Amino acid sequence: MMDYLNYIGGKWTESKSRETYKHYNPANPSECFGTTVVATVEEVDSAVIHAKQAFLQWKQLSPVTRGEFLRKAADLLEQQTEEIAKIATKEMGKRFVEMKGEVARAAMILRYFAQEGMRKMGELLPSVNPQNTLYSLRVPLGVVSVITPWNFPVAIPIWKIAPALVYGNTVVWKPAQESGITAVKIAEVFERAGLPEGVLNLVMGSGATVGNALVEHPNTAAVTFTGSNQVGREIASKAVAQNKKFQLELGGKNPAVVLADADLDLAAKLTIEGAMKQTGQRCTATSRVYVEQSIYDTFVDKLLTEVKQIKVGDGLDETVNMGPVASKNQFDTVSSYIAKGVEEGAQLLFGGQCLEGPTFNGGYFIEPTIFGQVTNEMTIAREEIFGPVLAVVKVADYSEALAKANDTMYGLSASLFTTSLDKAFHFIENSEVGMVQINGETGGAEPQAPFGGMKESSSGTREQGQAAVEFFTAYKTVSITSSL
């Protein structure tokens, strides 16, 4: 069994602690297929120092040249699609076909930000003094801490690392421990693309030790984080205390609203896809659906027809529609929410069982689960579950649906299914989320579009698209006065 190492200053390094983290397949927990080496706080410090030294040369390169490294990385990533997808499937259970799509998406993100290196990075401004030349520049921040989750082990790191690099920053990256081997494979891609030593560093370990050391390090200029609200608040507090930039993408409790005039077959199909795709382990997953009472029973029947077509099993089996949850911890958490739904009086319409037997190898498999007769006061309608659980709520009309959809601390994504143009535009304007879908599922994002939420789903700055430049750079204003 192979040990996968940290990548610091352009070298693969053994940890001085000799501590390792074992990786087990969530579809077959008896299978340990590798270990990652846990970094020490001293090694985090070394990674930051290397990144700070590399920054002095990296920022001097043309952004067009920096973009070429990303383009090469995209080509290499595509060449390793099957290998990386298979490793990620074994690490966190996502279906192989979904992981191949995620790797392809990551390559697209790299190519997008490679082109961003050709975009203007400032502007000429008018001055009151005709002898002044006044202009602004966007300049890199320095060393950026990148802290990423396990649920999108390729795409999320890439959509943080790519803009950080093309805009001239250097990076120290801490992935979730559960996806450490996938992270090593991504770092190898950048190494093979010829990225200079110290520009990208990989340190693995727990958030409490390695992640905290990165956030608190005096030589990191910014931190970008995707994960839980609790950890996000802690990061924000520490970053503010040090006057460093922070970017947080946090939880979601994403609603879909289905009106009586909607295409109900399409709405049912996309609601189930939004809720159950990637085993519900997406911050943009559909978690609540508000249905007008006149079509409630009909729509529930259509949801049940769709969910019954889902086949649960090992994500490496391409005939399977849904894999396991990522870990024993996730399994216990999702199971507890299902039990809470039953306890609080929701109607269990489908699923809710843990799947056992020789077919499932003791893996962390949970049936796709649908609750009906849910109220907004129930726990399953208020808290992020991060599993294949959908809460169906009956409402009188569109106004009640909108009010209840907005009645949450979260504000990431929302969908409306309707044929009414008036209601579609009203929903776009009044839904308290960062991303709105009309007749589409709540998940999904494209590299050229800003990604992020409102309320407690985000710290405000957006990822991806041209909006990414707002976080990864700072303005510098220049005034040159002529003496002639």
Q: Are residues 65 and 113 in the same domain?
A: yes
Q: Does residue 450 fall inside a structural domain?
A: no
Q: Are residues 204 and 264 in the same domain?
A: no
Q: Are residues 208 and 226 in the same domain?
A: yes
Q: Are residues 182 and 120 in the same domain?
A: yes
Q: What residues make up the domain containing 392?
A: 254-438
Task: Quote the percentage of the chain above a pLDDT of 90.
Answer: 96
Q: Left, alpha or beta for 197 (phi > 0: left; psi -120 to 50: alpha)? A: beta
Out of 178, 249, 367, 463, which one is annotated catalytic?
249
Q: Give dist(CA 331, CA 177) in Å, integer.
A: 17
Of 279, 357, 337, 334, whose CA–CA distance to 312 is shortest?
Answer: 279
**Active site (annotated) includes residue 42:** no
Structure confidence at residue 1 (pLDDT):
63
Q: Which tens digit of pLDDT belongs to each residue from 334-356?
A: 999 999 999 999 999 999 999 99
Tell me the residue ranges of DSSP E strands in 38-93.
none
Residue numbers in the chain where pLDDT is lower than 70? 1
Structure confidence at residue 284 (pLDDT):
97
Q: Does residue 448 fall inside a structural domain?
A: no
Whether 457 and 227 have beta carbons less than 8 Å apart is answered as no
Q: Are residues 286 and 404 in the same domain?
A: yes
Q: Are residues 15 and 129 in the same domain?
A: yes
Q: Give dist(CA 338, CA 351) in Å, integer.
A: 10
Strands of the sheet with 286-292, listed across from one edge: 347-350, 369-372, 389-395, 286-292, 254-258, 413-417, 435-438
Long-range CB contact pairs, 291-297, < 8 A, 24+: 291/258, 291/392, 291/393, 291/394, 291/395, 292/258, 292/259, 292/260, 292/395, 292/396, 292/397, 292/398, 292/401, 293/394, 293/395, 293/396, 294/260, 295/258, 295/260, 295/264, 296/392, 296/394
Whether 111 and 73 have beta carbons less than 8 Å apart is answered as no
- Residue 145, CB half-sphere, CA atoms under 13 Å: how many? 32
Q: Give dist(CA 86, CA 84) in Å, integer.
A: 5
Structure confidence at residue 468 (pLDDT):
98
Q: Are residues 321 and 261 in the same domain?
A: yes
Structure confidence at residue 129 (pLDDT):
94
Q: Are residues 407 and 463 in the same domain?
A: no
| Domain CATH for 362 | 3.40.309.10
Whether 161 and 146 have beta carbons less than 8 Å apart is answered as yes
| Paired residues of 455 in beta bridges | 410
| Phi (first) and psi of residue 446, to 5 degrees | -115, 150
Q: Are residues 319 and 234 in the same domain?
A: no
Q: Are residues 317 and 243 in the same domain?
A: no
Q: Are residues 317 and 178 in the same domain?
A: no
Structure confidence at residue 445 (pLDDT):
86
Q: Does residue 8 fall inside a structural domain?
A: yes
DSSP tally for the chain: helices H, then strands E: 15, 22
Q: Are residues 188 and 274 in the same domain?
A: no
- How many domains, the chain? 2
| Domain CATH for 22 | 3.40.605.10
Mapped onto helix, strand or coil, the DSSP state of residue 288 is: strand
Q: Does residue 267 fall inside a structural domain?
A: yes
Specify the length of the chain in residues. Answer: 484
Structure confidence at residue 358 (pLDDT):
86
